[in-house]
Amino acid sequence: MTMDFDVVIVGAGAAGIAAAIELQKTNLSFVVLEARNYIGGRAFTDRETFISTPVDLGASWIHSFGSRNPLYDYYQRLGKDDQFDYDDEDGDALIIDYNGRPLLPHARQRAKLVLSRLYDRLDEFAGNNRNSDDQSIEQVIQTVYEQLIESDEQVKRIVDLSLSGMEQYEGSNLNNLSAKCWETGDAPGGDRWVSCGYGTLLQRICKEHNIPIRLNTLVTHIDTSDTTRIAITTSDSSSALLCHRIIITIPLGCLKRNTIIFEPPLPEWKREAIDRMGYGLMNKLVVQFPDCFWGSSTRTIIHACTVRRGRFRFTICLPSPSNILIFFVTGVFAKELETLTDNEILVEIMNFLQNIFPKRTIPNPIRYKFSRWSQDPLAYGSYSNFAVHSNPQTIADLAKETADGRVHWAGEHANSDDGSENWCYACVHTAFTSGQRAAKAIQKQLNNS
Ligand SMILES: Cc1cc2nc3c(=O)[nH]c(=O)nc-3n(C[C@H](O)[C@H](O)[C@H](O)COP(=O)(O)OP(=O)(O)OC[C@H]3O[C@@H](n4cnc5c(N)ncnc54)[C@H](O)[C@@H]3O)c2cc1C
């Protein structure tokens, strides 16, 4: 059987969902093909593992929260939500040294000065247009860092704690990140933690709009050699799919790994943008305990590690009755943990907890779940970032149509700079915006043709 659509959307994450909602406003026929058995992609809420608490293993904050965010109204319609934001700066954060002791005020003050010098150095590099060649953030700050850190180990740990915040945010280590694009496209505005789960929110949006989505359908080939119809091959061999336009929203990690074969192959400029853009790794290690031994008023633990920068730097604490700790791990450390078994990861976590709470008895966990996004063949990582030598033009190329305007591209990595002060990328809401943009472009093309 052959099925013919005006538009096929590949992927039912935020970008694919937004494109579908936009196309629903037209008379164009379309379908969404999704390889997973659920909607939401990297916004995934686990509602099964933990007793009475949904937990996001992917996205959890709505960044740039406010009325201009395309997900704002949907979030408001959720009604009651715990409005605790679990961010770094929160008054209920337990900010501690590697051994659980407080960070000394004079060391924090000194670290603040060092950091402001490092940030000045980055501002200077990023703002200096004569620097035609890019370098990594690590390279650019290295000399100043070494000069300023001197021999105070606690100051060094606090500086590293702050720098690793940048690594956590970007999902990558500083030696991979572009100094020229330092702070380019960072999400402006505040964040909102979605306590019912960001994945839950996307699923509710799909339900509200009654979007036609075919789950468990892996796209393997896209053939644009016929100029009238695009042919799509999927894992479901019972039907062949044809369409006039296609929107591809699969993650950058999948594009880097060529998980879909294009016939003819993608043009060189598109391949180059795919290779050039950075794509990081952030994982969440979620552990549920029988009680809230860390103290019910503590909502986050921020820890200055002595072993390596950023190791277990940030942990979210969900109070009773959840009694859950969510450890955020990033970059090379996250990748190394992915090679361990669950039991080995648990040992690492328990040792860490014993170090920061030396006088407490840490109870045995009752449940746990660890994401391994870099091993997920439908993601191969967490989200994009500016690697050395990539820049907003790289995102513009990732978003640019191919095959004479018949193949459209969307996704968190393909939200090109629209010149607005709110522009950012790598987030759920920006993936959503990119999907809206691709669908509108198609509507314009087909209404004109
Ligand atoms: C641990 C973690 C924490 C994060 N935290 C936040 C956060 O707090 N806030 C935030 O805004 N963002 C966060 N992000 C980033 C956010 O999750 C992504 O930017 C966003 O969800 C991407 O949406 P998307 O539609 O571009 O891609 P996806 O959600 O990945 O959707 C793409 C879809 O394509 C499907 N697919 C892939 N290949 C095929 C194929 N061949 N055939 C058919 N379907 C296919 C995939 O299964 C997937 O469902 C986080 C991500 C991770 C991993």
The dihedral built from the CA positions of residue 137, 141, 142 and 145, taken in this order, carries a sign that is negative
Distance 368 CA to ligand 1 centre (A): 22
Q: For residue 183, count CB atoms less than 10 angstroms from its CB and return exposed for 0-12, middle for 13-18, buried for 19 or more.
A: exposed
**Minimum CA distance residue for ligand 1 atom 19:** 427
**Residue 205 and residue 268 in one domain:** yes
For 69-117, how does the pLDDT look when each residue is reduced to its tens digit (9 = 90+)? 999 999 998 876 666 777 765 668 899 999 999 999 999 999 999 999 9
**Residue 109 and residue 238 in one domain:** no
The dihedral built from the CA positions of residue 436, 437, 440 and 445, taken in this order, carries a sign that is negative
**Residue 127 and residue 253 in one domain:** no
Q: What is the pLDDT of residue 2?
A: 81
**Residue 199 and residue 158 in one domain:** no
From residue 83, alpha-carbon distances to 67, 79, 107, 292, 377 in Å are 16, 11, 33, 20, 34
DSSP state, residue 414: G
Task: Give the separation between CA 381 and CA 58, rounded to whole angstroms.
Answer: 11
Tell me the average pLDDT across 409-435.
Answer: 93
Task: Kindly write down the DSSP assignment for every residue of 176-231, as one continuous string.
Answer: TBBSTTTTTTPPPS--EE-TT-HHHHHHHHHHHHT--EE-S--EEEEE--SSS-EE
Closest ligand 1 atom to the C-alpha of 61? 8
**Residue 116 and residue 166 in one domain:** yes
In angstroms, the first-to-last Cα distance of the chain is 27
Q: What is the pLDDT of residue 314?
A: 96
- For residue 45, list its beta bridge partners: 56
Instruction: Give the β-pairing of 324-330 and 282-288.
Output: antiparallel
CATH number of the domain within which 416 lies: 3.50.50.60
* Structural domain count of the chain: 2
> Does residue 294 lie within any of the structural domains?
no
- For residue 409, list its beta bridge partners: 248
**Minimum CA distance residue for ligand 1 atom 13:** 59
For 232-249, how does the pLDDT look when each residue is reduced to its tens digit (9 = 90+)? 999 987 778 999 999 999
Q: Give the position of tokens 């809420």.
A: 45
Is the model's pLDDT at 376 over the cut of 90? yes
**Residue 163 and residue 199 in one domain:** no
Pocket flag, ligand 1, residue 280 (CB < 6 Å): no
Helix, strand, coil shares, percent, the chain, to 5: 35, 20, 45
For 158-179, how does the pLDDT look when each residue is reduced to its tens digit (9 = 90+)? 999 999 999 999 999 999 999 9
Cβ contacts of 403 within 8 Å, gap of 6 or more: 224, 230
> Does residue 328 lie within any of the structural domains?
no
Distance 43 CA to ligand 1 centre (A): 6
Task: Give the separation between CA 145 and CA 12, rounded to whole angstroms.
Answer: 44
**Residue 260 and residue 393 in one domain:** yes
Pocket flag, ligand 1, residue 61 (CB < 6 Å): yes
**Residue 29 and residue 159 in one domain:** no
Is the model's pLDDT at 131 over the cut of 70? no
**Residue 400 and residue 269 in one domain:** yes
Q: Which domain holds residue 393?
A: 4-42+191-279+379-448
Q: What is the pLDDT of residue 407?
A: 98
State the CB neighbour count (10 A cutoff) for residue 113. Answer: 12
Task: Kindly write down the DSSP assignment for every residue of 219-277, as one continuous string.
Answer: EEEEE--SSS-EEEEES-TT-EEEEEEEEE---HHHHHTT-SEEESPPPHHHHHHHHHS
Distance 251 CA to ligand 1 centre (A): 6
From residue 58, alpha-carbon distances to 45, 198, 200, 233, 304 in Å are 7, 8, 12, 28, 24
**Residue 246 and residue 114 in one domain:** no
Tell me the average pLDDT across 368-381.
Answer: 98
**Residue 209 and residue 144 in one domain:** no
